[in-house]
Amino acid sequence: MRASVLRLALQGSPSRNLNVGYPRFRTSEEMYKHLRGLTEQGGDFTVRNFVGVIEDMTHRFETPLFPAGALDFYTKKNMGWPYTQEESDKWQMEERGGEQGDYRDGMQEKIANVIACLKSEPRSKRAIIPIPFSSEGSKTVDWTNKGQTKCCRELHLYIEDSQLKCTGILRMQNANIFPKNIHFFQTLLLHVGSELELPVGEYTHWISNLCSKLSQRLPWQHLHCWVSCCHVTC
């Protein structure tokens, strides 16, 4: 009885979702293949302002760079869940992303806040998970600090059509890193959905800058030691 009452109560605002005009993909794997195609030129070639919608956020997939073990490890890490040193030694590597893709700081508190928000006010537009500046104010932004310039900036969660939906805003997406990102987002949404007793609906993926893979330093960077620690193209 309680579950049915909760589901009945968690209704979002009347709405019109304009993401119907963006490319739609049945699964995250279909979007991944599309992103690889868009960036097949490689190098520092950049696609600007990509937006797409994934309809089924329960489908999961692996790639040579991200087999199941790597996906599970990075998702545990970003969710703020415990993991072993053995897992870290086995799966963590620079090619799979560094500080810019480390979202774990305060993540459990952020998730709890979203759950509390949508339980208390299902129509809320404040159910967000902010990624950057977990311990500093935005006025301290430093472009040379990869730990500050996170690739994912915010996740906006909302209830629509009696489903939990989400829009992700990314500053940067490397196509070959997408499997790690989307596995984390899927896990987070399924976790929140289970707490709200709501199914997970579609996910809208906004990318400001889309490249093929983690950039190598450009030739001019070798001339400037002050940027030698930064892959400034991503």
CATH of the domain at 53: 3.30.572.10
The model's pLDDT over 29-56, given as tens digits with 9 standing for 90+, comes to 999 999 999 999 999 999 999 999 999 9
Q: What percent of the chain has pLDDT over 90?
A: 71
Measured distance CA(6)–CA(198) in Å, rounded = 9
Asked whether residue 12 is assigned to any structural domain, the reply reads yes
* Predicted model pTM: 0.87
Q: Is residue 10 a part of any domain in this protein?
A: yes
Distance from chain centroid for Cα 81: 16
Domain around 195: 2-227
Asked if 205 contacts 51 with a C-beta cutoff of 8 angstroms, the reply is yes
Q: How far apart are CA 167 and CA 151, in angstroms?
A: 15
Tell me, what's the pLDDT at 98?
A: 86
User: What is the rounded distance in angstroms from the CA atom of residue 183 to the CA atom of residue 192?
Assistant: 14
Split into its structural domains, the chain has a count of 1
Q: What is the chain's mean pLDDT, rounded? A: 88
Look at residue 234 and tell me if it is in a domain.
Answer: no
Please report, as a single letter, which amino acid is at residue 31: M
Task: Note whether 152 and 188 are within 8 A (CB).
Answer: no
Q: Is 73 strand, coil or helix?
A: helix
Tell me: pLDDT of 81 over 50: yes
Beta-strand runs (E) in the chain: 24-27, 47-56, 128-130, 152-160, 163-174, 200-211
